[in-house]
Amino acid sequence: MERVGVVGCGLMGAGIAEVSARAGLDVVVVESSDGAVEAGRARLETSLARAEAKGKIESAASVLGRIRVVSDLGELADRELVVEAIVEDEDAKTELFRTLDKVVTDPDAILASNTSSIPIMKLGVVTARPHNVIGIHFFNPVPVLQLVELVPSLLTSDETTARSRSFVEGALGKQAIDCQDRAGFVVNSLLIPFVLSAIRMLESGFATAEDIDRGLVLGAAHPQGPLALADLIGLDTTKAVAESLYEEFKEPLYAAPPLLARMVDAGLLGRKSGRGFYTYS
């Protein structure tokens, strides 16, 4: 596999594009507007300059030379693998997969989603090639974290799963785990209830955000507390994953607390907006 496409150049999409280009692959990234294209390119330049300064890559310019950021989905026509990394919204993702099915000309091309919660079957069945649709779920920050969840649906072919594993482990050098096609997969099914519990604790006045996070860092050896982690994930993404889990399982532990919903309504989304449970410069 040599030609990779990515749809979306936010934190996740840019990270997927970066690790693919660092692996020597030819990458096309598609954004929704010219302004988003410029923002995405700037995000890639900043990340790669930082990687070069830390000695993780020899040349940021050479990696950037393998990435094109454009606003036309038609540029994905010749891709062998396309990874969707847009907003965590089922309607938006299914509409995109309908379009990708028409745009990507190679009948053997893999159409993958980086969704953190939406069942892959729902994306596959809107295409004429559900056997080529799979979940390839990276974790943020993509250049740093080694885990990738591989999520085939009931209709995904064994060949698609094998080729996806080869891309993740062989080309990118990451480690894949196998997940069933159920909302939340492995990591978020365990992680999101934990984060929601911390939000409920804060909401009830039981403890401050600082003390909740300090307790888990110092008492359980977590690298960061659950509320700081929610800010990193994005509170809108946390809420979307929680809602997807609750819709599928109807378990109270998956229900988004009112505080989380109000913060998302207010645009307090965490690091991406400059303010969440903490304030960021």
**What pairing do the DSSP bridges indicate for beta strands 133-138 and 147-152?**
antiparallel
**Any residues with CB less than 8 A from the CB of 191 and at least 6 apart, and which?**
none
Residue 54 in marked binding region: yes
Amino acid 128 reads: A
Residue 113 in marked binding region: no
**What pairing do the DSSP bridges indicate for beta strands 26-30 and 3-7?**
parallel
DSSP, collapsed to helix, strand or coil, labels residue 70 as strand
* 67, 13 contact by CB (below 8 A): no
Residue 116 in marked binding region: yes
Among all residues, which ones are annotated catalytic? Answer: 116, 137, 149, 188
CA distance 11 to 47: 10
> Cα-Cα-Cα-Cα dihedral of 48, 50, 53, 57, to 10°?
-30
Binding residues: 47, 54, 116
Binding residues for CoA: 47, 54, 116
